[in-house]
Chain A
């Protein structure tokens, strides 16, 4: 893991450094800041050193001082700035993850099972309903996958405005933002929360649903499922213990990969819906060349990816005994 992180950090640093100039160079057109002053700042933060030296200094500070660096724009250590933004970010991404999983997995199973109705030569009414529902869900699945989250967000905001609603952005009404927690505040939160849940969560639902459906279809035609049915097991037991348990494996690996989306996943939707997540913070730092903020967030994202993979492997091992033996 450590060598991977090192390589990632090197790549990130190189990419950030590919943009010309430093954070302080944007002040060159500001009549208040003299050239000498900009040079002094660049010197103070070693930005006038060769890139390799800058990288080594950055690495040294992390390894020996646990210091992720300093935000030039905010005159504050990066760690505290990330800290104060992490709460809502984690809350929102865990919630969207939960929502999209709770919707996608059952829907995936349902649409996969509905496939059986197609092959039934004499279609009952139930079969016809199942086929209809199947088409409908697949249709919405494709649509929501095709529409980017920020567009859904914009459409929702437009719809809300047309209906004279006020929950058009953010997580709270203005008066509740800095109010102490109360029932009214929770209610206000819930009335705002469904908009980002739909906008950000829906995209995930569609993708996951189709994954689940495909892997379910693979599994229900396997011999062991037929055997289980032939043994006379209840359909419910066959479904949950034999089919779903095997079909869900690829999704667990997928979940591990979605951890870094905590940081970078919802930048545009967060800006459009005005959500206080860390995404726009990363975006600003990249635009401003506030390089230590960008580096810290990119490294954090890389670390989450590696951690996610590790967690997914562990989870997989606990769900699937075959993995453990390998």
Chain B
């Protein structure tokens, strides 16, 4: 009897570690799972161009990032459903009450794909030597700066890292969701701080791929120039699904390099791609095929980042009359009534767009619900009466309004991307409707990549632009805070030197208010107060229309019916390369 119990106790002792391992809890967002998947298979996706480099911080290239995001992990990630912070390489964190210091506990037992242990040294190396290193093309030091002072990172012990801000910084944890952690033991030898040039030449696309190690779900296995990037499951992957199974489900992940969007859709329809990036214009056709029995699914949802389109007026226009008109809040409000949002959504976006917020995505927790009804209705009569009241009347009877006092015609050019699938359509609709109320718009279509540089040089009268939304408004202050580097419609408010205090004297009263709200919210760690300040900003935005917000494209996606865990929940398209599986 005694012997058996001793034996049992021994067995229990021996089995304990094994059982603990089998019962590992899920460590990825639960929203990623529509169902528990099964192991095996190859996931085939597409890239529009060859990756330029495999060195994350030395390259500004979305194709590289798309590939490398499967190889490297961040400290914190976002739950795709709620857009709230979720543990990644950092298992937990705590903030001091003053909002200046965050302490992050790193996940223990994580290994790089070559078997080396991951710890705080890798994090310190990445944050200090790479992400903050202004010598590297893709450094993120701008994210780490509050005013002119940078965040400070300190190693507490092997698995603890502390982040300290010079003053309270509300978006401190948010910025960590942008930084992939790279291996110190592979990269420190290139001396990124002393010799950023030499470091940039490491991990280029002709590097032996075994040298590129990560903690992510996949590792690079083979790159065939201009044709395919192949990845395989990371043997040391630490991710587990709610049932305790190792993630990723798929054994292999392959990116076919297909440059033309039409060729991508063709490959997708031929069954070679498991999922293809599609645009609103392709949605109806593919949906019809799905309903006609094709073996794929097309879904739509409302995304957070999807860049909403806006119409901006150059408040520093060279033409004095235009400058005066564009700086007038009432003039911009009047024109806002002449923007036919429903028609733009219907004809340009095929109905696959929704109302934008004012600087914040309506699905974001930072969105101010009061602004929901503040987008102006399409009402040409109202627009015309308001313009009449402001003194812009057609004094010479040529059908175009004149600046007050019998001045020249109210006429301006509208800068937009001629090669975009949406902008020319929007521009034409605006031109036609503005024409009906006696405002003459001349279309100025240019190559997409030159729109923003042209606008930022102040070389425009009106422009159609778009900036992606971010979860925390702090991350978009360059755009929406007057005087910001991307606040191109009122360049007079920008500082003479980047990073200096903006030209407050050039700002209108509401702009000064917004400027102050952003500055307050930036320097506070109290999320409730920050929310109130950003709510106020959105109200000011809605009332003063610095730019006219037009429409926010929906997220659309297409995938093969045999793929699981690719779905829509609460209007969000949910998917990840490590939770998709073959049914």
Do A33 and B60 touch (CB < 8 A)? yes
Do B205 and A32 touch (CB < 8 A)? no
Rounded to whole Å, the gap between the CB of A11 and the closest CB of chain B is 22
Do A26 and B256 touch (CB < 8 A)? no
A residues less than 8 Å from B258 (CB atoms): 169-170, 274
Do B134 and A37 touch (CB < 8 A)? yes
Q: Give the distance in Å from the alpha carbon of A251 to the alpha carbon of B486 in the complex.
A: 57
Do B44 and A174 touch (CB < 8 A)? yes
Complex: chain B residue closest to A70, CB-CB: B201
Indicate if A146 sits at the interface (CB-CB under 8 A). no
Indicate if A258 sits at the interface (CB-CB under 8 A). no
**Contacts known (A75-B55, A166-B272); A174 close to B225, Cβ less than 8 A:** no
Q: Give the distance in Å from the alpha carbon of A74 to the alpha carbon of B485 in the complex.
A: 27
**Contacts known (A31-B486, A80-B206, A157-B266); A276 close to B200, Cβ less than 8 A:** no
Q: Give the distance in Å from the alpha carbon of A74 to the alpha carbon of B64 in the complex.
A: 10
B residues less than 8 Å from A116 (CB atoms): none
Rounded to whole Å, the gap between the CB of B366 and the closest CB of chain A is 18
Do A85 and B226 touch (CB < 8 A)? yes
Contact with A271, one of B53, B61, B260, B269 (Cβ below 8 angstroms): B260
Do B262 and A154 touch (CB < 8 A)? yes
Indicate if A206 sits at the interface (CB-CB under 8 A). no
Do B49 and A166 touch (CB < 8 A)? no
Indicate if B514 sits at the interface (CB-CB under 8 A). no
Indicate if A25 sits at the interface (CB-CB under 8 A). yes
B residues less than 8 Å from A166 (CB atoms): 270-272
A residues less than 8 Å from B184 (CB atoms): none
Interface size class of chain A, counting residues whose CB lies under 8 Å from the partner chain = 35 or more
Interface string of A3-23 (1 = CB under 8 A from B): 000000000000000001100
Do B259 and A177 touch (CB < 8 A)? no
Contact with B498, one of A35, A160, A173, A177 (Cβ below 8 angstroms): A35
Do B266 and A276 touch (CB < 8 A)? no
Indicate if B19 sits at the interface (CB-CB under 8 A). no
**Contacts known (A75-B53, A177-B228); A280 close to B204, Cβ less than 8 A:** no
Interface string of B48-81 (1 = CB under 8 A from A): 0100110100111100000000000000000000
Interface size class of chain B, counting residues whose CB lies under 8 Å from the partner chain = 35 or more
Do B260 and A29 touch (CB < 8 A)? no
Indicate if A73 sits at the interface (CB-CB under 8 A). yes
Complex: chain B residue closest to A278, CB-CB: B226
Indicate if B163 sits at the interface (CB-CB under 8 A). no
**Contacts known (A174-B228, A174-B272, A274-B263); A32 close to B478, Cβ less than 8 A:** no
Do A28 and B263 touch (CB < 8 A)? no
Q: Give the distance in Å from the alpha carbon of A25 to the alpha carbon of B456 in the complex.
A: 12
Do A168 and B266 touch (CB < 8 A)? yes
Do A177 and B227 touch (CB < 8 A)? yes
Rounded to whole Å, the gap between the CB of A121 and the closest CB of chain B is 54
Do B52 and A74 touch (CB < 8 A)? yes
Do B204 and A274 touch (CB < 8 A)? no
Indicate if B364 sits at the interface (CB-CB under 8 A). no
Do A36 and B206 touch (CB < 8 A)? no
Do A34 and B61 touch (CB < 8 A)? no
Rounded to whole Å, the gap between the CB of A32 and the closest CB of chain B is 6
Indicate if B222 sits at the interface (CB-CB under 8 A). yes
A residues less than 8 Å from B44 (CB atoms): 174
A residues less than 8 Å from B453 (CB atoms): 21, 25-26, 28-29
Do A272 and B260 touch (CB < 8 A)? yes
Indicate if A292 sits at the interface (CB-CB under 8 A). no
Interface string of A264-295 (1 = CB under 8 A from B): 00000001111010001100100100000000
Complex: chain A residue closest to B452, CB-CB: A29
A residues less than 8 Å from B138 (CB atoms): 32
Do A84 and B53 touch (CB < 8 A)? no
Rounded to whole Å, the gap between the CB of A206 and the closest CB of chain B is 25
Do A27 and B60 touch (CB < 8 A)? yes
Indicate if B345 sits at the interface (CB-CB under 8 A). no
B residues less than 8 Å from A168 (CB atoms): 263, 266-267, 269-270, 272
Rounded to whole Å, the gap between the CB of B237 and the closest CB of chain A is 22
B residues less than 8 Å from A20 (CB atoms): 450
Indicate if A41 sits at the interface (CB-CB under 8 A). yes
Contact with A73, one of B52, B140, B201, B272 (Cβ below 8 angstroms): B52
Interface string of B475-506 (1 = CB under 8 A from A): 00010000001100000000000100000000
Indicate if B224 sits at the interface (CB-CB under 8 A). yes
B residues less than 8 Å from A44 (CB atoms): 197
Indicate if B142 sits at the interface (CB-CB under 8 A). yes
Rounded to whole Å, the gap between the CB of B229 and the closest CB of chain A is 9
Interface string of A136-167 (1 = CB under 8 A from B): 00000000000000000010010011001110
Rounded to whole Å, the gap between the CB of A84 and the closest CB of chain B is 5
Contact with B456, one of A28, A76, A157 (Cβ below 8 angstroms): A28
Do B452 and A276 touch (CB < 8 A)? no
**Contacts known (A76-B201, A166-B270); A274 close to B142, Cβ less than 8 A:** no
Indicate if B436 sits at the interface (CB-CB under 8 A). no
Complex: chain A residue closest to B457, CB-CB: A28
Do B259 and A76 touch (CB < 8 A)? no
B residues less than 8 Å from A31 (CB atoms): 142, 478, 485-486
Indicate if B137 sits at the interface (CB-CB under 8 A). yes
Indicate if B139 sits at the interface (CB-CB under 8 A). yes
Rounded to whole Å, the gap between the CB of B13 and the closest CB of chain A is 48
Do A84 and B262 touch (CB < 8 A)? no
Interface string of B235-269 (1 = CB under 8 A from A): 00000000000000000001011111011001101
Indicate if B302 sits at the interface (CB-CB under 8 A). no
Do A76 and B137 touch (CB < 8 A)? no
Q: Give the distance in Å from the alpha carbon of A160 to the alpha carbon of B138 in the complex.
A: 42
The 5 closest A-B pairs by CB, nearest first: A276-B226, A29-B452, A177-B228, A166-B270, A168-B266
Show the binding face of A for B, using Cβ within 8 Å.
20-21, 25-37, 41, 44, 73-76, 80, 84-85, 154, 157, 160-161, 164-166, 168-174, 177-178, 271-274, 276, 280-281, 284, 287
A–B complex contacts, Cβ < 8 Å, 13 sampled:
A26-B449, A29-B486, A32-B60, A32-B140, A32-B143, A41-B137, A73-B59, A75-B53, A157-B263, A168-B270, A174-B228, A174-B272, A177-B228
Known: A20-B450, A75-B201. 11 other contacts (CB 8 A): A31-B478, A75-B55, A76-B53, A157-B263, A160-B270, A169-B266, A169-B267, A170-B227, A172-B227, A174-B272, A274-B267
